[in-house]
Every structure is written in structure tokens, then in C-alpha cells.
Amino acid sequence: MQISDSGLKIIKKHEGLKLQAYKCPAGIWTIGYGHTHQVSKGDVIDGDMATEYLKKDVRHAQETIRRLVTVSLEQHRFDALVSFIFNVGAGNFSSSTLLKMMNKGNFEGAEDQFKRWNKARVKGKLTPLRGLTRRRGDEANLFGNHELDDMPQFVAAPAVKTKLKSKTNLAAVTGGVGVLASQADAIGGMMDKVKEISDKGGDFVDKFGAVLNSSWFPFIAIGVVIVLGYIIFERNKKVDEYGL
């Protein structure tokens, strides 16, 4: 048995497609749907090649199923297991309660085990990640032959709250922008001092004073705060979903 298009679809959805080589967080050159074999800086592929790489990369997961699973599997269960093993590794699968239950014919119990594998180490601590929770949900639904959108998110796997997703911290960032805007007059008041210093200083102070004395300065400062806030927000979102 080989993985079907339904199985490949789930893997593609959660691995994401990159047509140019990039370094993963572990420092390994990667391309396509998580392909790492013989990838070098500057490599570029198309979507068809990425799919071919993926089909080759899942062969190990397929062999693991043939070697360890002792019960007959329908295509949808085989597909779900390929995606699962491709993500967690053959070693973790071989020692899992999921495998033990399945080999005893307890498919319902095995399906329920998927949701336990939604954690990764973030700063040394095992933490539930939303990206993994969604993937385990899709795999469990496929394993149980449900529609992928039938089941809600797993209640037992709460998402990790990122620093900038909390209302408190969002208010802090937004409030910071408001404070900057409201202090525009105060900033303007400082300009006289800067000008006074610039009269006695050199070219550098003159140029610096000119920038600060510009009517655009408050807007530039606000823009910097917004950009920094967005960068922090996106970074924390990555940590929240993928532990990166």
C-alpha cells in the first residue's frame, strides 16, 4: 500500500511549501515540503519536483508501518499514520500507545491517542503548540474516516498564549503608540533645547537637531513603534505555533 493523495494533502498542508532552499531552525538546508537530502544553498525547484521529493521522503514512514503494524489497515488509516510518522519519527511511533492499541484492534482508542502528540520543547519545556494540535486533529479525523472539518479543536490541547496575543500586552503596545502621539507637543518643546545645543555644537549636532526638529519626527517615532510591535507579534506567533 502507498500513501494516497489525501494523505499527501495533509502532509503538504502542515509542512508548507518552499521552492527555494532555506535553513531550518536546526541549521539544515531544506526545500519543498521539508526535504533535506542533498539540498544546498541557492537550490530552486517547482511544485511538481517538491511533490516527487515528498513521495520519496515518506517511503521510510510507509516501511515503518509495514514493519510494525500487525493488523489490516484501510487506506485512510494508512495515510494518517504516514503523516504522523513522517512528523514524529519511527522511533516515537514504535514505542507509542497508539501503535499498541491499534495492533490490539482498538482503532477508536488509537484514534484518541493522536491528540497526545501535540507538544514540542520550547525553551526546554514540553509545550502544546497550535500547529501540532491542528495537524494531530487532521490525522485523527483521517484515521477515523471523518471529514477533516467535522471535529473541533482538541479541548485537551490548549494553545500557548503568546506575549503579544494577550489583551494586556496588546493594550500596552497600542497604548505606547498613543502615548507617543500625545507627547508630540512635549517632543516639540525639546527641540528648542536641541537647537540651543546645536548652536554651540558641530555638524553632527546640527544634523541631529534638524531631524528631531522636523514636524515629521513624531510620525516617524510612531511608525518605528508599530513596526517593532509587528515584528514581536510575528515572532511570538512562530513560537506559539511551531516552537521556533
Q: Active site includes 196?
A: no
**b/e per residue, 101-126, with b = 16+ CB within 10 A?**
bbeeeebeebbbbbbebbbeebeeee
Q: Quick check: 218 and 181 in contact, CB under 8 A?
A: yes
Nearest CA among 158, 141, 145 for reference residue 84: 141
3-state secondary structure of 20: strand
DSSP characters over 88-145: H-HHHHHT-HHHHHHHTT-HHHHHHHGGG--EEEETTEEEE-HHHHHHHHHHHHHHTT
Check if 15 is active-site. yes
Could you write out the DSSP letters of every residue in 199-233?
HHS-HHHHHHHHHHHSTTHHHHHHHHHHHHHHHHH
- Determine contact, residues 157/118, Cβ cutoff 8 Å: yes
State the Cα–Cα distance between residues 35 and 42, nearest whole angstrom: 14
Active site (catalytic) residues: 15, 24
